[in-house]
Structure 1
């Protein structure tokens, strides 16, 4: 793999906040005009089952194994460790197309899965049992919907498309992920975090409504729009999509965004956060060769101290976001990169404070520093191109929220695992992203994303290309994770942990061979109370368990 490929792989883990069964995909299609959203919205609001126009600028199309498009569509999932061989792939362009696709799947009885961006790390879509894939890549409209006084984003739109259209059209944005090739579909359903979350909260903290194609107990497919309005009888379906993950309740076709504190009757440009005109992009980098274990431990303790001190809601340092990535390459580097969303003088002061904290104490040399002030949109779209990982990339990811830094024993485990000369794969990595700030100003039960007391989100990722390497690569990552969390049953269930992130899905958490903590996988992802609430929503909206995967919400009965 080239250096650019390596950066792409690391960013995939550190920044994608990827969705389970649905994200987004940059298929060629003209953007629908902003005015087109209200008409489609009205169709969903009526709960129709297919009265929309017969087609759209894209789809509907059914692709079967003998179609020359089949291989491209079947294999466009991000993680080629998993594969499916569906009998058909349905490309859709409208909500009515999705209703028909789900209705057909219900009649045939095969397992149905949904793909928008294909960035899932697990086998939720690419599973041997998948019979039908509903491909959302044709639904990419982004615009203002005056009927709901909110911004509509279709599930197939990439984050890059959403950021560009919202900002250029109205000067606003949603605080979503920094890997902008990921799409709205599953990114939002899983919570969504990124460079602006410490200032403005999670993506779902601004979610006003969601349109979902569901299957009722009689086997009928229909579209439902659910809002956060307390009087909405469908509100539980909205809540389930504020962090409950994708693929459990139905097919998301569209989201609407409006901040909770937006004034009634406000102009569109006042309905969502306004990003700064410029941001300071930066990196602080060290070579492994310049750090022994004591220096590494000091550096990571300093980083933890900075995070613990600067992650309260309202902290001036909430403008600084960083991803501290550590790779396994002996000749490689480790360090933090990110952006500061503040005026240039204040941004550089915050970066100086971070650098000063990181290099405090004995043995930590000065880092190689790069910093550049860029227009916000330019900085945000810097990674909006095609994913720079190999077509045949195979991956595994794990995660853990942290209320504080790792212990001395955990840091020793990290150092030994990352510098082990016997592990010669240069694509193993651990990342520790800044969190907290405005994220922690929201109560755990307000959304289905309960992790509202953390200062870091840790990720553990490895990638490779050959199937013959599967066992070795998985063993390295599982051993690292198991040793790191040995005192809490091999998973992040200790007093300094706050569970795991559903958009970094890990089937191992549901395997008693890897999770001996006594804490169920669903509690790690959703909290005990949150999961019970999600199960009630599941019972109402998907009572036949039509939509399911390895970590989907289970029915009550």
Structure 2
């Protein structure tokens, strides 16, 4: 399809700010009762009304928390949202009653943004799951409660297109998109928000008037700043995002299948384990340095290796193995050699022989057959990766997490600290992982100010995660991950500073410690770590669209004063 070939050479080189060829002229002020004309989801979006679930309802306890059991709410009620009108009516009622609200799409926020003691009403979008094509905008419309798994399935089966979205299938679109949206196809196709054409948002103005606005990326759209804020500004900040429209910036014509990227026909996949018992400190150091050096050298927007991505679970010694999953577009010339050369580069000189991935590792299932690179359909690969959700699989999961972007290889100090923590035989958690994710490529073809997603020069990013089940273990595990983070980044005041090597943190991996002076003693404001220089503009958008700070949480954007 045409949009598939766009990416091969020029996709996104003019940035997400480029307007589509069929301009809509100005922003739409959406009447939620009449504006939903999208085929398939129009009736529900226009008139559906969800349940109100109070403390006496058997569903209440289930809905007062998300996937991180450290954070529980006791709201007056949970309001299930089934339509844009339902969302608008619910906000209006809450505002008039002076109630503190929070918002949830998939429930995957690992911070306390949705579930905390101050919340009086949770607005839950998990029943708004529509995916369709909207000819008005020549774009695919996705409701904010849709899960990534369903989005991938419906876009591909319906039109043979996709979005470069995340690995974890059960993540909801609402927060994933507003935080930028990243997945294993992003090196080839950019972030999800690099394809965002429009967003529908329920907002509250200075007089308390509630209305619904559709903001687009068109340069003459007077509400374009609201679209920009949803390209990485994070969820729960500016209003209720009810629907998103996606069209790639360079798409042309009116054929639906030409409006978004088409995924590769096949993926060439590999899965290997490296056993801790086979690794010395020198071998571990070489492995980490190999990974960083390769990504530093092969992550330019025009690199042929933009078609390759890895998810590397550096598990603790208690797990027993480090697990590397890699995929490359199987349609490009020389894919087999490119993958083979990559695997040789990563494992060179480590003194350990890769073995089959015979046991689950984080979001990677056991993949013993992929010890030899194997071709499979793109959708089968997408289904396979992320199928085991280590948090969702544990209904009592309590989670601590932190993140960092890297522009260059690990320093010697960082690798030494990683080895000290992850090889510790006295640390008994098999569910503690450092996830290394390939970044860069086409992502880095966009200028930092063009979207709210500011990290546009990194080559890999890191998620530090530890999972446990018992409340009485909270202090132990949180102290462990805080100490790890502070020691790894001791050269930069305990955080991944915006500098030569690191480039801050990812807002979709929200770390409340960075907004707490007890744990972030660097003097670097949390918002600079997550948003860099884009924060000042985000504050202006906040002042315009949510001047009363009605939509807020523990790391929300503050209105400019």
Q: Same fold (TM over 0.5)?
A: yes
Q: 430-439 vs 303-312, which deviates more?
A: 303-312
Q: 160-169 vs 376-385, which deviates more?
A: 376-385
**2-side partners of 1:201 and 1:218: how far apart?**
39
State whether residues 174 and 272 of structure 1, in contact with CA within 8 Å, keep that contact through their aligned partners in structure 2: yes
Q: 368-377 vs 47-56, which deviates more?
A: 47-56
Match of 1:427 among 431, 435, 450: 431
Give the corresponding residue for 1:139.
Answer: 128
Report Cα offsets for 1:68-88 as digits up to 9, x if no partner: 22122223x111110001101
Report Cα offsets for 1:491-520 as digits up to 9, x if no partner: 100421111100000000011222222211
**2-side partners of 1:239 and 1:445: how far apart?**
10
Could you say if the C-alpha distance between residues 385 and 138 of structure 1 is closer, same or farther in structure 2, counting changes exceeding 3 Å? farther
**Residue aligned with 1:396, SS:** strand
Report Cα offsets for 1:357-382 as digits up to 9, x if no partner: 02223634345434322111121123
Shift of 1:64: 0.7
State whether residues 237 and 537 of structure 1, in contact with CA within 8 Å, keep that contact through their aligned partners in structure 2: yes
* Correspondence 1:124-523 to 2 at 5 A: 124-263=113-252, 265-330=253-318, 332-343=320-331, 346-361=334-349, 363-368=351-356, 369-382=371-384, 387=389, 388-493=392-497, 494-523=499-528
* Correspondence 1:504-543 to 2 at 5 A: 504-528=509-533, 530-543=534-547
2:77 corresponds to 1:88: yes
State whether residues 129 and 143 of structure 2, in contact with CA within 8 Å, keep that contact through their aligned partners in structure 1: yes
**Residue aligned with 2:127, SS:** coil
**1-side partners of 2:299 and 2:354: how far apart?**
24
Shift of 1:443: 0.5
* Unpaired segments ≥5 residues, structure 2: 1-23, 36-42, 357-370
Shift of 1:409: 1.1
State whether residues 316 and 430 of structure 2, in contact with CA within 8 Å, keep that contact through their aligned partners in structure 1: yes
Give the corresponding residue for 1:5.
Answer: none
**Residue aligned with 1:527, SS:** helix
State the number of aligned residues.
Answer: 512
Could you say if the C-alpha distance between residues 51 and 272 of structure 1 is closer, same or farther in structure 2, counting changes exceeding 3 Å? closer
State whether residues 318 and 429 of structure 2, in contact with CA within 8 Å, keep that contact through their aligned partners in structure 1: no
**Residue aligned with 1:130, SS:** coil
**2-side partners of 1:550 and 1:292: how far apart?**
42
Give the corresponding residue for 1:45.
Answer: 28
**1-side partners of 2:287 and 2:34: how far apart?**
60
**1-side partners of 2:423 and 2:342: how far apart?**
25
**2-side partners of 1:446 and 1:96: how far apart?**
31
2:76 corresponds to 1:74: no
Match of 1:103 among 88, 92, 96: 92
**2-side partners of 1:484 and 1:55: how far apart?**
48
Aligned CA RMSD, in angstroms, stands at 1.9
State whether residues 49 and 221 of structure 1, in contact with CA within 8 Å, keep that contact through their aligned partners in structure 2: no
**2-side partners of 1:543 and 1:133: how far apart?**
21
**2-side partners of 1:227 and 1:338: how far apart?**
35
**2-side partners of 1:506 and 1:331: how far apart?**
24
State whether residues 325 and 429 of structure 1, in contact with CA within 8 Å, keep that contact through their aligned partners in structure 2: yes
Give the corresponding residue for 1:31.
Answer: none
* Unpaired segments ≥5 residues, structure 1: 1-40
**Residue aligned with 2:71, SS:** coil
State whether residues 212 and 252 of structure 1, in contact with CA within 8 Å, keep that contact through their aligned partners in structure 2: yes
**2-side partners of 1:272 and 1:438: how far apart?**
15
State whether residues 289 and 330 of structure 1, in contact with CA within 8 Å, keep that contact through their aligned partners in structure 2: no
**2-side partners of 1:555 and 1:345: how far apart?**
50
State whether residues 319 and 431 of structure 2, in contact with CA within 8 Å, keep that contact through their aligned partners in structure 1: no
**1-side partners of 2:44 and 2:514: how far apart?**
43
State whether residues 448 and 526 of structure 1, in contact with CA within 8 Å, keep that contact through their aligned partners in structure 2: yes
Could you say if the C-alpha distance between residues 210 and 283 of structure 1 is closer, same or farther in structure 2, counting changes exceeding 3 Å? same
